[in-house]
Copies of this chain bind each other. A is one copy, B any other.
């Protein structure tokens, strides 16, 4: 699948090399994780992690736009405002959302314990949580363990950290690259992520922590961050439709053996595209590992009148349940696709629309292309394929990544709250 026309970085030569180490691949970062029994005191699984930089950082973050924001999001938004960040502490098993003042106290207590263990200021710590909404954090099982967590911080702690933020994810999401710039010089960018709940991509908490040893200014980081998030996580997490806890954090500490990246320089473009590359790979891992997902589908809209039209059309198709059901059944139902394009709000001319499944034409000028259905079925039976919708009205393109909707998803999501409450009740916790 060739996405050149959808990738603003395709003309930028980023001669990167994929490396190990994820969030600890960049120089001067450490990580660790422990098991606190946050979701269930009887189950041993990593559920509390920490990432630190040895030196002060320049850090930027993107938070959920949901008006119901978790306590940890509120506290992190406050902390990132006026301080250089030294550490992230994050847990899975409880989202600390809809937990009121107690939630704020708990999120602050996690920051305080982290700051004390590391000898930094509380405002230098960001906090993230993911898990069930509306239940207080079992904070008494968390804060007393933070020093122990800080004690095992390690430059090879990445894999544990990646596992500790998983909820219904089936595998950790880790990616890192090294980018040579100049003679024998390079910077590294790496990160971890968690996702899942991908029926409507935006409905699940998405966390991603990225570190880089590149030397960049706050302004340049902000610009690069906005660009890279828009090209990656925003292609799966649709605007205004995010969960209570979604957070992406990028920490830069300048420890690379490379000069500072100057505004407007070729290196600035390379940095931006390197950040995009890491975020994009993590975003794709999130989609592929969506809850009970059997298909990974690229929805590409071509030749829309405007960028906004291209985006509207792609997102409407990517979110349509009837479209997702037909992907699940390997059914090349282009009628449902054109129907979603029709209600998307994008300007279209029905008689101009062409639709392709991985390049094989299903609809031509709004009508059936008369391709043998067996040829189309062969494509949609694959676990990965693309749907291209050519509006033939202009030159704006947009791509979105989506999945099928499976029966198993519905089953899986039918009784979370009851199950969680019953489990706690059995243990005398509520």
From residue A314, how far is it (CB to closest CB) to chain B in Å?
15
Return the contact of A418 from the options B199, B331, B410, B425 (Cβ within 8 A): B331
- For A345, the chain B residues whose CB sits under 8 A away are 240
- Assembly CA distance A368 to B68 (angstroms): 14
A256 beta carbon closer than 8 Å to chain B:
no
- For A98, the chain B residues whose CB sits under 8 A away are 335, 338, 350, 363, 366-368
A residues 290-330 in Cβ contact with B at 8 Å: 320-322, 325-326, 328-330
- Assembly CA distance A419 to B408 (angstroms): 22
A202 beta carbon closer than 8 Å to chain B:
yes
By the criterion CB–CB under 8 Å, are B414 and A338 in contact? no
By the criterion CB–CB under 8 Å, are A343 and B240 in contact? yes
Return the contact of A326 from the options B329, B330, B414, B421 (Cβ within 8 A): B414
Do A410 and B325 form a contact, CB below 8 Å, given A68-B338, A338-B98? yes
- Would you give the 0/1 interface string for A234-265, flagging 1 where the beta carbon is closer than 8 Å to chain B? 00000011111000000000000000000000
By the criterion CB–CB under 8 Å, are A334 and B134 in contact? yes
From residue A240, how far is it (CB to closest CB) to chain B in Å?
6
Return the contact of A203 from the options B240, B322, B338, B415 (Cβ within 8 A): B322
- Assembly CA distance A1 to B416 (angstroms): 27
A229 beta carbon closer than 8 Å to chain B:
no
A336 beta carbon closer than 8 Å to chain B:
yes
Q: A134-B367, A135-B368, A332-B418 are in contact. List 10 more A-B contacts (CB 8 A).
A: A65-B343, A66-B339, A98-B363, A99-B367, A134-B338, A240-B345, A329-B414, A373-B421, A373-B425, A407-B410
By the criterion CB–CB under 8 Å, are A199 and B68 in contact? no
Q: Chain B: which residue is nearest A242 at the CB level? A: B343
By the criterion CB–CB under 8 Å, are A335 and B99 in contact? no
By the criterion CB–CB under 8 Å, are B333 and A67 in contact? no
- Would you give the 0/1 interface string for A43-57, flagging 1 where the beta carbon is closer than 8 Å to chain B? 000000000000000
Leading 9 A-B pairs by shortest Cβ distance = A329-B414, A133-B335, A68-B342, A333-B417, A325-B413, A329-B415, A407-B407, A66-B342, A134-B335
A116 beta carbon closer than 8 Å to chain B:
no
Residue picked from A99, A335, A425, most chain B C-beta under 10 Å: A335
A230 beta carbon closer than 8 Å to chain B:
no
- Assembly CA distance A26 to B416 (angstroms): 50
A200 beta carbon closer than 8 Å to chain B:
yes
From residue A419, how far is it (CB to closest CB) to chain B in Å?
8
Task: Name 14 interchain pairs, CB-CB below 8 A, sorted by A.
Answer: A68-B339, A68-B342, A134-B334, A200-B322, A242-B343, A321-B413, A325-B410, A326-B415, A326-B417, A331-B414, A331-B419, A335-B417, A336-B417, A407-B410
A411 beta carbon closer than 8 Å to chain B:
yes
Q: Chain B: which residue is nearest A362 at the CB level? A: B134
Return the contact of A100 from the options B68, B365, B373, B407 (Cβ within 8 A): B365
- For A347, the chain B residues whose CB sits under 8 A away are 67
